[in-house]
């Protein structure tokens, strides 16, 4: 079976008031074999490398993704179910979810990354104490990250990326 393996390296990213641990794609290669076997081998190799994410994608005969698996020994909140290129971040604050005047998506403050970065697992902080959630728009869909339940730091004085 044809398999694409992508390797991502963790880096801190600042996108407007949002500080997050993101990833850069640094290598991609094609392999053949069973995706589970390839993932097992790579998981053993990268078991003590928390700054690396390995994604194994099984391709069908038409070149379309059939299944995808990701591995990292890193820790953090699940920001997206697999590495996904971040297109835009929306900050949802108290006003946006107010029952008296909820805001439509196009009225929310949004920020575009300055470079090609990917989200998967990582920490996030928002320099807005009234922020309630983030909406992550990616090339693989969107996801809402609730800041209260994710243990996300909301700080108006934060000047560095999450530790």
For residue range 29-51, list pLDDT tens digits in order: 999 999 999 999 999 999 999 99
CA distance 107 to 97: 12
Q: Which residues contact 125 (CB under 8 A, 6 or more apart)?
A: 18, 19, 20, 152, 153, 154, 155, 158, 161, 162
User: In whole numbers, what is the pLDDT of the chain averaged over residues?
Assistant: 88
- Count of domains for the chain: 2
Do 7 and 65 fall into the same domain?
yes
Query: What's the first-to-final CA gap in the chain, in angstroms?
Result: 39
**Does some domain include residue 160?**
no
pTM, to two decimals: 0.84
Angle at 64 between CA 88 and CA 22, to 5 degrees: 30
Sign of CA dihedral 144, 146, 152, 156: positive
Could you read off the pLDDT of 76-129 as tens digits, one per residue? 889 999 999 999 999 998 777 666 666 777 888 899 999 999 999 999 999 988
Residue 62 lies in domain: 2-74
- Residue 38 near residue 5 (C-beta atoms within 8 A): yes
Do 131 and 67 fall into the same domain?
no
**Does some domain include residue 161?**
no
Domain boundary among 74, 101, 129: 74
Domain boundary among 74, 96, 116: 74
Please report the pLDDT score of residue 157 as a whole number: 41
Q: Which tokens is 116 given?
A: 């090609």
Do 54 and 107 fall into the same domain?
no
């Amino acid at each position: 079976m044809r398999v694409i393996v992508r390797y991502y390296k963790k880096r801190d990213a600042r996108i407007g008031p949002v500080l997050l641990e993101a990833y850069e794609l640094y290598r991609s290669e094609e392999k053949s074999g069973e995706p589970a076997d390839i993932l097992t081998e790579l998981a053993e190799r990268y078991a003590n490398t928390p700054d690396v994410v390995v994604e194994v994608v099984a391709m069908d005969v038409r070149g379309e993704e059939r299944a995808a698996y990701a591995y990292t020994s890193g820790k953090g909140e699940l920001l997206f179910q697999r590495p996904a290129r971040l297109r835009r971040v929306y900050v949802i604050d108290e006003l946006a979810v107010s029952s008296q005047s909820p805001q439509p998506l196009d009225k929310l403050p949004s920020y575009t990354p300055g470079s090609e970065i990917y989200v998967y697992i990582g920490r996030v902080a928002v320099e807005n104490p009234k922020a309630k959630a983030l909406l992550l728009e990616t090339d693989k869909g969107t996801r809402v990250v609730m800041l209260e339940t994710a243990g996300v730091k909301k700080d108006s004085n934060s000047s560095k990326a999450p530790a």
